[in-house]
Amino acid sequence: MPPADPLHGRERQESRLARWLVLPAVGTIVLVALFPLSWTVWESLHLHDLRMPWLGRPFVGADNYIEALGNPRFWSALGHTVFFATVTVGLELMLGLGFALAMNRAFRGRGPVRAAILIPWAIPTVVAGLLWRFMFDGQGGIVNAVLVGIGVLDQARVWFIHPQSAWVPVILADVWKTTPFVALLILAGLQNIDASLYEAARIDGASAWRQFRHVTLPLLKPAILVALIFRTLDAFRVFDLIYALTGGGPGTSTEPIALYTFNTLFQTLRFGYGSALSVIVFAVTFALALAYIRLLGADLTGARR
């Protein structure tokens, strides 16, 4: 048996060194995440309105939060966000799975197809938003031209002035833009599945559907969950796409919570109330992330092996 002491000492030394080594990382997190966050929380407890400097900057406790929770615009913005997140993430998962399965097949030109499918993902969101805005433009937009041309519409439709139809370009644009990301994540998962499992299933006489249902899907779960987490959190914070596409209109009927917060902070310059909104958005996204990790933690670590 080797003497325990020296090893122990070296371990202690190493752990001390390790502590020093993680210090910069911890320091950076404190500086770029914790500090701004606590500042925002502090700000949210004050009345701070850049446009009404004569009111000063008094401490108001939870007033800003109470105002937010009693404000119908806040609740409808939250509702829009949940609606947007549910619809887009659902569509993106289904389409992404389909694309991934297709790309996983061996066919000629697979490389170029895999590269091509990533193009929408590579386009900056604001540019994509403007692109879709022009396509859905009421006067010269290509969508109206095509739909009128094939007889679906009898006259050009002004998409952005109807509270329901204004969502159509928003959702299409997001699905178009982010499905490739989901597809790629799922494709990575598909390629980790051992081909011998399918062989075994075939020998047992399993149909293609049963193979998909009982081999592919269970083994894809970790990849799907990762995609789900990323996409839900992203969709929940959606801002730039809608900012460029509808600006939240007509009225405020496509305004997500992040855009409402932005308008409060940077148009109305109500820093106190806007900070309260930011804190609420942070709390909700953080809770979502925690819930995912809690619920799916086992699968996530499973994915790593």
Among 66, 161, 200, 208, binds another protein (CB under 8 A): 161
Please give the backbone phi and psi of residue 86, each rounded to the nearest 5 degrees, phi first: -65, -50
Q: Does 98 bind another protein (CB under 8 A)?
A: no
At closest approach, how far in Å is the CB of 173 from another protein? 16
165 scored as a contact of another protein (CB under 8 A): no
* Residue among 247, 282, 284, 289 that touches another protein (CB under 8 A): 247
Kindly write out the interface string for residues 248-287 of this chain, putting x where it contacts another protein by CB under 8 A and - elsewhere.
xxxxxx---------x--xxxx------------------
Cα-only R_g, the chain: 25
Q: Which of residues 51-90 bind another protein (CB under 8 A)?
A: 51-55
Question: From the list 158, 215, 219, 288, which residue makes contact with another protein (rule: CB under 8 A)?
Answer: 158
Binding mask 107-146 for another protein (x = CB under 8 A): -------------------------------xx-------
What number of chain residues touch another protein (CB under 8 A)? Answer: 25
Phi, psi (deg, nearest 5) at residue 56: 75, -155
**Cα–Cα distance measured from residue 118 to residue 34, given in angstroms and rounded to the nearest whole number:** 34
Alpha helices in the chain (DSSP H): 4-29, 35-44, 63-69, 72-104, 110-116, 119-122, 125-135, 142-149, 167-191, 195-203, 208-211, 217-236, 240-245, 257-262, 271-304
**Cβ–Cβ < 8 Å for 80, 222:** no
Distances 59 to 5, 36, 44, 63 between C-alpha atoms, Å: 57, 19, 9, 9
CA distance 101 to 303: 19
The piece of 3-11, 22-30, 109-117, 243-251 that touches another protein (CB under 8 A) is 243-251
**Taking CB under 8 A as the rule, does residue 27 contact another protein?**
no
Positions touching another protein (CB under 8 A) are: 50-55, 138-139, 158, 160-163, 247-253, 263, 266-269
